[in-house]
Each structure stands twice: as structure tokens, then as C-alpha cells.
Amino acid sequence: MGWSERLQHWLRGLLGGDTGRRIPARLEYVAPVEDAPISAGRAAPAQPNIAFRRNAVFTAFNTAVPVSDRHGLAGRKKELARLVDAVVKQRKHALIYGARGSGKTSLARVFGDLADEAGCVALYGSASEGTDVDGLFRPFLDELPLQRGSATIPADRPMGVQQFANLFVQGVTQHTLLIVDEFDRVTTERTRHEVASLLKLLTDMHSSVQIVLVGIAGNVDGLLAAHPSLRRHLFAQPVAPIERDELAGLLWLCAQQAGLAFEEDAVQAIVSAAIGSPYHARVFGMHAALSAEAAGRERITLADAQKGLAEALAEWSELTPDMCTVFERALSQAGSLRGMIALAGVLAAHAPVLTFERLTAAGIDLFGDELGGPAAVDRTISLIAPALSEDGMPGELQFADSLSPQFLVLMVNGAGLRPREALPVARDTRDARALLQGVGL
Ligand SMILES: Nc1ncnc2c1ncn2[C@@H]1O[C@H](COP(=O)(O)OP(=O)(O)OP(=O)(O)O)[C@@H](O)[C@H]1O
Ligand SMILES: [Mg+2]
């Protein structure tokens, strides 16, 4: 039996029955009789609207595009308030950083919108691999509110840090934000150093132009190493996991937009499995909604949620077979360390950087004396090592695919992990316990 069959078999056994198709079957598009909006509380539409309803689910739970509408942005009120305060009011530059898919672009876009309303000009751009300073900032010049005749922009040669600084200071009087997304793609040390210099120069020269960098990072050290004094001028906003209630609200909203409604235990199961990630909440919620929709129901039940989680896991395993194989192998060899492996996944979903010390502390909180000491932690790390990378400081490990920890935890939960009630709980593991007990698989 190959890994994918084993995974299916395994999940089937644990979920108590048929987990359904591996990938939802495609329905032929059938033009709706009329494009009437779907409203909650109506009877399930007749057959011709099936494709229409499925499309409504795909649209509502869409994971392919960042949120641009503030009402669709869940759980980021504090972050937005802090950014407005630091950037719009205190006129600092900013860095928005977090794991892949954590919601950086969504936060940056909605923040740009708010800044725009507050009277700033907010311009949005994106870095690409190998870009230098000219490549990063020249694309903004077309839309920059430059005063007439303020400066000439050389068309035939790249501009340097000083030239950009002069142009921004002398040519722009209107409060302007340049939002540079995907800054992590800038890997050249020299360019990062130059960007840091530009930020510092703009601050020192009281420029009306401020820079907001957005990128994948576990911490801000890489950028600040060049200019430690930047800490005073740069506001760093991490993009952290979202609170349970806010994720539940997001799921309710998406379901409502698709003309469906979640039952409470279904929403809680998905929120638990998403571990603070709006991306995973949307993916899991979409599969659950498709399950209800396929059955012609408007209410998404716990069974739909469980089926949705299994479908999402099966889909992920097809799209990411190497990572799935690593996890499957680790779990097959883990024995009594399955709980520790799940814990590593939960911790990484909360904050990507895993260290021996962090895993040890959380392991002691969760499993007490039964953890098995440092040797057990070492063994846990070595089991999942092929899925980890050590990019930052020595000993700072991260899942190479930062979207994978939630799927790892699902795989363990599929095996029926049930930690005991009476163990002491520290802050770092509070949600881990709730999660490991709460998914209900
Ligand atoms: N606060 C939020 N509320 C609702 N949905 C969100 C939120 N943040 C992110 N999402 C959803 O999660 C997915 C990923 O979001 P986004 O593209 O903003 O993440 P990112 O961190 O910029 O990803 P990447 O690292 O790939 O650039 C999108 O489908 C988006 O709609
Ligand atoms: Mg992004």
C-alpha cells in the first residue's frame, strides 16, 4: 500500500467510515436558471443552481487572494491601530513581518486603505528576486505626488540611495507611504543594507515619504543589523496567529456569503485545527462547506467539518507529497513521541521559530515527567528534521513549508491522540492542549 492509500486508510479508520473522495469531484458548470442571490434560510435550490452554489463557496472562502476590504479582515484591529499610530501619527517607517500565508499582504493593504482615508497617499509595490534599490523604488515614481519641476529622474541609469532620498525630500510634500511587499525576496545583503540606509536618511531629513516593508521573517534582526539605530525609527509589526473568536467570526462570515451557516461544534473543530491561521481556516472551512453543499444542506455540521478536514489533508498530501511522506515516516517511527510531534506542530503554528529549549519547556508542561527528558526532545526533532530548516541563528529551526504544521497536527490527531486532563499548563501550551483535545478526530 502506498503512502497516500495508507493515509486514506488511516483516516478512514479514525474518522469512523468513508472519508469520501480524495479530491472533490468537479461538477460541470450548469448555468443557473436565474442569477438570484442565495439567501440564508431558503430551501436548497433545485439542481440547475448546484454549480452556482459551489462557485459561491469557492468565492466566499477564497484563499488565493489577499483581503482588501477591511470588513473581511478578521482579528487585526490592534495591529491596524498600532500601525496607524506609529506610521500615520508618529511618522515612523514600518516593517510588517510574519510567516508565509499569515496575512501580511492583507494587513498591509487594509492599512494602506486606512492611511489613505487619513489623508496619506499610500502606494503599493512588490519586490522581485534580485531587485536593487532602483528596481524597488523606481516603480513608485509614476504615481508619486511629485511637485512639478522638482527633480529630474534619470531614465538611462539606475538611481542610488542618496538620489532617492533627495527626490523624496525635495520633490514630495504630501504625506506618502510606499508599501514594499515581498521584501524577503531581496536576498542581496548590499540591497538590504542600502534600504536600511534609505530609511535612516529619510528620517534624518524629515521626509514626507515613509516606507513600509512587508516580508516573510521570524524576526527583524536581518534588516536591523545594518543600522541598529533604525530601531528608534522603524515600527515592527508581527503578523501573529488570530484569536479563536475572530477566526470563528471569519468562518461565519464566509459561510453567510455562500448562503450557508455553520453549526457551533463544526466551527469550533475548524478553528481548533487552523491554530490561529486565517488561511487554514478558509481552506478547512471551504472543504466543510463543500461537503454540506454536496449534500444539499445549508447547515454545515460537525460531520461536514471532519470530512472537510480529511479532504483538506488529502488535497494537501497530493500537492505536497514530499512533506507528507516525511511526516508519515516520522509518525510511523514516533511511538510514544507522537504527542511531542504534534506539539512541535502546534508551537510552530503559533510562532515559527522552534528551539530545543522551547520544545522542552512546552513538552514538560504538557507531558510532565513522562516526556522522557532531553533525549526525547532530541529524538522528536530528529524525526521531523527533514521537514525543518535552520535559516536564522544556530538551533533556531523552522518548518521549511510554514503552512505545513497544521497538516502535521491533523495527521497526528487523525491517529487519535488524547493527552490527559490533569497536566499543568503554561501559556505556550494552553492552546496546544485545547487543540489536541478539541479537534475531535
Ligand atoms: N485577517 C484576515 N482575515 C481573513 N482572511 C485573511 C486574513 N489574513 C489573511 N487572510 C486570508 O489568508 C490568505 C493568505 O493571506 P495573505 O495573502 O494576506 O498572506 P501573506 O502573509 O501575504 O502570504 P504570502 O506569505 O504568501 O505573501 C488569503 O486567502 C487571505 O484572504
Ligand atoms: Mg503576501
- pTM higher than 0.75 for the full model? yes
Average pLDDT over residues 366-385: 89
Residue bearing the CA closest to ligand 1, atom 17: 66
| Burial status of residue 28 (CB atoms within 10 A of its CB: 0-12, 13-18, 19 or more) | exposed
Tell me which ligand sits closest to the C-alpha of residue 61.
1
**How many A from CA of 216 to the centre of ligand 2?**
8
Q: In the structure, how many helices (H) and strands (E) does the chain have?
A: 18, 9
Tell me the percentage of the chain whose pLDDT exceeds 90.
61
Provide the pLDDT for residue 16: 34
C-alpha cell at 383: 524525526
> Structural domain boundaries of the chain?
3-31+244-252+260-438, 76-238
Helices (H), 102-152: 104-117, 133-137
Band of the pLDDT at 119, cuts 50, 70, 90?
very high
Query: Measured at the alpha carbon of residue 354, what is the angle toward residues 348 and 358, in degrees to the nearest 5?
Result: 105
Mean pLDDT over all residues of the chain? 82
pLDDT at 39 over 50: no
Ligand 1 atom closest to 214 (CA): 22
Q: How far is the CA of 46 from the centre of ligand 2 (A)?
A: 39
Residue 75 in contact with ligand 1 by CB distance below 6 A:
yes
Task: State whether the beta carbon of 254 lies less than 6 angstroms from ligand 1.
Answer: no
- Confidence band, pLDDT 50/70/90 cuts, at residue 9: very low
Any atom of ligand 1 within 6 Å of the Cβ of 101? yes
- CB of 73 within 6 A of ligand 1: the answer is yes
Res 30: pLDDT? 29
| Ligand 1 neighbour 100 (Cβ under 6 A) | yes
Distance 313 CA to ligand 1 centre (A): 19
Give the distance (Å) from ligand 1 centre to CA of residue 79: 14
More confident residue, 145 or 122: 122
- Is 76 touching ligand 1 by the criterion CB < 6 Å? yes
pLDDT digits (tens, 9 = 90+) for 382-441: 999 999 998 777 889 999 999 999 999 999 876 333 333 222 233 344 445 554 544 332
Split at pLDDT 50, 70, 90, the class of 38 is very low
Q: Cβ(216) to ligand 1 under 6 A? A: yes
Q: Which of 11-15, 116-120, 223-227, 388-392 has the lowest mean pLDDT?
A: 11-15
What is the rounded CA–CA span in Å between residue 340 and residue 317? Answer: 21
**Ligand 1 center to residue 419 CA distance, Å?**
31
Confidence category of residue 256, pLDDT binned at 50, 70, 90: very high
CA-based nearest residue to 216, from 182, 191, 187: 182
Closest CA to 280 of 168, 164, 401, 362: 401
280 lines ligand 1 (CB under 6 A): no
Residue type, 402: S
Which has more confidence, 179 or 336?
179
Residue-wise pLDDT for 45-68, tens only, equals 445 466 788 999 999 999 999 998
- Assigned fold of 76-238: Rossmann fold (3.40.50)
- What is the arithmetic mean of pLDDT over 298-316? 94
- For residues 381 and 23, the model is more confident at 381
Contact 359, 386 (CB under 8 A): no
367 compared with 429, residue with greater pLDDT = 367
Which 3 state secondary structure label does DSSP give 233? coil
Choose the weakest-confidence range: 127-141, 151-165, 421-435.
Answer: 421-435
CA–CA distance, 398 with 169 (Å, rounded to integer): 40
Q: What is the pLDDT of residue 49?
A: 63
Q: Assess contact for 201 and 162: CB atoms under 8 A.
A: yes
222 to 105, 188, 391, 392: CA distances (angstroms): 20, 11, 11, 9
Ligand 2 centroid to residue 101 C-alpha, Å:
7
Residue 303 CB contacts under 8 Å (≥ 6 apart), including other chains: 291
User: If we measure between CA atoms, which residue out of 371, 352, 351 comes closest to residue 361?
Assistant: 371
CA of 371 to the centre of ligand 1 (A): 36
- The ligand that comes nearest to the alpha carbon of residue 59 is 1
Q: How far apart are CA 254 and CA 296, in angstroms?
A: 18
Ligand 1 atom nearest residue 216's Cα: 25
Residue showing cell 508565509? 100
Length of the chain counted residue by residue: 441
Distances (CA, A) of 136 to 63, 88, 226: 27, 22, 18
Q: Which ligand is nearest to the CA of 278?
A: 1
**Which bound ligand lies closest to the C-alpha atom of 99?**
1
pLDDT at 12: 38
Q: 282 in ligand 1 pocket by Cβ < 6 Å? A: yes
Please give the residue that has the higher pLDDT: either 201 or 221: 201
CA–centroid distance, 163 to ligand 1, in Å, is: 35
CA 14 to chain centre: 28
Q: Could you give the CA distance from residue 40 to residue 261 in angstroms, rounded to a whole number?
A: 8
User: What are the CA-CA distances from residue 358 to residues 278, 361, 363, 405, 430 (Å)?
Assistant: 24, 5, 8, 16, 14
pLDDT value of residue 152 = 75
244, HSE (Cβ side, Cα atoms, 13 Å): 14
Three-state secondary structure of 282-345: HHHHHHHHHHHHHCCCCEECHHHHHHHHHHHHHHHHHHCHHHHHHHHHHHHHHHHHHHHHHHHH
Query: CA-CA distance, 373 to 256, in Å (whole number)?
Result: 48
Largest CA distance in the chain: 73
